[in-house]
Structure 1
Amino acid sequence: MTQALPQDLAGWLAAEAEGIDSGDVPAALILPRLADAGLVRIGVPGDLGGQGGTVMDAVQAVAAVARESLAAAFMLWGHRCFVEFMVQTPNNALRDRLLPDLLAGRVAGASGLSNVMKFLAGLEPLQMTARPEGEDLVIDGMLPWVTNLRGQGFFVAAAADPADGGPAMIVALAHDDPGVRRSADLSLMAMRSSDTAAVRIDGARIGRDRIIAANAPEWLPGVRPVFIALQCGMAIGLARRSLAEAGAAGGAGRAVLAAPVAALQARLDQVTASLDAGLGSGAFVSRPAALFELRIALSDIVFEAVALELQAGGGRCYLQGPGQGFARRWREAAFIPVITPSTVQLRTILAAASKAA
């Protein structure tokens, strides 16, 4: 149950993966290539301009990109999340206005909903507010870490707490809205060409036609499975690549690793199948804990996979030339558990639920 990338895209990602990781490849080149290959349209209904298919098909697309470059997969995750927000918004006019450019990769979509995901779990307060002024909303706040903030143009989804009371809402902010300021790219230790930055919002005035969802607590459980499942795709792809590298390594004594590699591959396949089943049945909407457990399991599998790759490759993994790809995957693996919601946050939520039961 894997998905192959178009040969030209796979070749380009393989050739440029190190430059994407280090920031030497302009981030502006990546999203258009992903969109031109049709990856953004996977799992989007045909009547909305997509290719059809399921959410799991979109997860497999993220996994296929992550085999070559986790930074590129991270960008695809953020963009595809925003596309999903447009698919599921009740605001048809906003969807019709934004979706064509998003699907074509002409403008980037960014998910700034990490804060509200933690808010729903009781882990932190909302960091943005919305106050009404006439027919408009004035937004203030901060998004400290958002990916796919393309300099050539982006929309970012953000949750805001209404100053006049009522449930939190989800709004779409544009890169050129007065009061919206993108920081310089964050100084990440890797994955530098991912257009990852902070966004400061000071008195940004938007029309109510930019509301993605007027009641975030009611709307978000329906999009949360896609949000987290696409993150799982990043882990699946990285683990698959490391296991493939471990299985392909030769040399004396490497045969002893065949059984652990096969066993971990079987675990990965089982978790991936469980993810597919839960998405297909809709179970994760009402039982998000099951999805959280899969995300945690995949994070653990990634670390075991890169450790097996290291053991199989031996000392060559520690040489700058031969070990370059492994070193990048080792750094990429370190990012998997800190993606919001992090595995620590997910474990905290599960532990609290267990105590409450």
Structure 2
Amino acid sequence: MTAAIQNPNEQLDTIAEFVRDRAAALDRGETDIRTDLARIGELGLLENGLGGKCLDHMVAVIDGIAAESLTVGFSLWAQRMTLEYLDRAPEHLRTRYCDELASGRRVGVTAMAAALKYLAGLGELPLVAERTDDGLTVSGPIHWASNVFPESLIVFPARTTDGGHVIAAVHADSPGIRINSSPELLALGATSSTSLAFEDVRIPAADIISEDLSEFCGAIRPTFLLLQTSFCAGIARASLTEASSRLYGLGEQFSGEYHRLAQQYGSLRDRLYRFATAPSSVPGADLIRLRLDGSVVAVAATRLEATLRGGAGYASSSATNRRFREAAFLPIQSPSEGQLRWELSKFE
């Protein structure tokens, strides 16, 4: 695949600076994440942890990038998960798409959240596939997806009319796919997040990744949740670092809250990197709890930072304000905080 710079620390420093320099322009909607993903791909960072290997370096990449821009960290997660799916596909699909995704030349869209929700017993798959002589025709909505550009590759789940399930790949500009206009968002606008509608979209049999939804999702879910937690950890760390420099004067009144949050973040980070060394061996409840804690700590940390910055942090152009707005997405991102709490309750 792509060639990587020899020193991992140099890689992280290089991409962190690149993302930092572009974060404000992304937030203002003057550019989008395709440039960032291409640069990440050029550095060879997207391939870390593929093939069931240790995920700690991929976790560190998303963590470090999200500390500079959650927008990029989130889109990087979507790109990396699309690559994860294709890396587990039949060889002809791996050959066709993995290099393009790993290099950032093609943007990836993960529309698999509906499958994880379905397998948790929280709804049906909205896309319906009818078998044909040479593959499938698929109709229905994708209610929410990110990294949606005309040249993107979408990985999606569907239920078949004969009672089965499929996971397949399709180009976003394929006939029958309508990309709806992106809504105005509180933040993350540069991720090109929107809804889509499929109407009799033809999927050749060669583009089917798997027909065993449960097994496939069980295999990718640890990576899915760990890498989501990575961007929660990144933005939490950035906000706590900023907050720590303002615990004087009136800010001293928040020292207790800061230290409690710092302890929670420390626990989150320790578990994240420990679990990343052997993702498939981590109990499901521990992964769910980790992802839930990531969202809770990140939201609380950005709120504390905004409180300590005062009026300066209220200005929409400030990094504090951007992080506060970006983190507001985390409790509703799929799996949402409600879904995580519901799933966790089944283990208790």
**What corresponds to 2:3 in structure 1?**
none
Opposite residue 191 of structure 2, the aligned amino acid is S
* 1:182 Cα deviation from its structure 2 partner: 1.8
What SS is found at the alignment partner of 1:336? coil
1:177 CA displacement: 2.1
Q: What's the offset of the Cα at 1:256?
A: 5.5
Alignment partners' CA distance in 2, 1:10 and 1:319? 24
* Residue in structure 1 matching 2:38, options 12, 23, 32: 32
Contact 2:126 2:158 in 1 (8 A): yes
SS at match of 2:249: coil
Q: 1:195 aligns with which of 192, 198, 203?
A: 192
- Give distance in 1, aligned partners of 2:126 and 2:347: 24
**TM-score of the superposed pair, with normalisation by structure 1:** 0.88
Task: Name the structure 1 match of 2:341.
Answer: 347
| Residues 22 and 191 in structure 1, CA contact (< 8 A), matched pair in contact too | no
- Asked whether the 8 Å contact 2:59–2:273 carries over to 1, the reply is no
Q: Distance in 1 between matches of 2:100 and 2:280?
A: 32
In the alignment, structure 1 residue 236 sits paired with structure 2 residue 233:
yes
Bigger mean CA offset, 13-22 vs 106-115 = 13-22
Check if 1:337 corresponds to 2:343.
no
Partner of 2:264: 267
Q: Give the alignment of 1:1-357 within 5 angstroms.
A: 6-44=12-50, 54-89=54-89, 91-151=90-150, 153-166=151-164, 168-249=165-246, 251-255=248-252, 257-258=254-255, 260-282=257-279, 287-319=283-315, 324-354=318-348
Deviations 1:33-60 (A, max 9, x none): 2212332122235xxxxxx962232122
DSSP 3-state at the match of 2:189: coil
- Aligned mates of 1:8, 1:63 — CA distance in 2: 14
1:14-71 CA distances to partner (integer Å, 9 max, x unpaired)? 23212212312234323212212332122235xxxxxx96223212211111111111
- Percentage of pairs with the same residue: 28
Matched to 1:303, the amino acid is V
Partner Cα separation in structure 2 for residue 246 and residue 240 of structure 1: 10
Structure 2 stretches lacking a partner, 5+ long:
1-7
Q: 2:4 corresponds to which residue?
A: none
Aligned residue identity for 1:123: L
Rounded to whole Å, the distance in 1 between the matches of 2:10 and 2:338 is 32
Alignment check: 8 A CA contact 1:14 1:68 kept:
yes
- Counterpart Cα distance in 2 of 1:320 and 1:335: 16
- Please list every run of 5 or more consecutive structure 1 residues that lacks an aligned counterpart in the other structure: 46-51
**How far off its partner does 1:271 sit?**
1.9
Cα distance change of structure 1 residues 66 and 96 upon mapping to structure 2, 3 Å threshold = same
Flag the 1:96–1:134 CA change in 2: closer, same or farther, 3 A.
Answer: same
Aligned length: 341
Which letter maps to 1:276?
Y
Q: Tell me the CA shift for residue 145 of structure 1.
A: 0.9
Computed over aligned residues only, the root mean square deviation of the Cα atoms, in angstroms, reads 2.3
Following superposition, the deviation at residue 289 of structure 1 comes to 1.9
Evaluate the alpha carbon distance shift between residue 283 and residue 338 of structure 1 in structure 2; reply closer, same or farther with a 3 A threshold.
same
Which stretch has the larger CA shift, 104-113 or 297-306? 297-306
| Distance in 2 (alpha carbons) for counterparts of 1:156 and 1:184 | 17
State the distance in 2 between where 1:254 and 1:292 align.
34
Cα 1:282–1:190, aligned 2, differ >3 Å: closer, same or farther?
Answer: closer
**Alignment partner of 2:186: what SS?**
coil
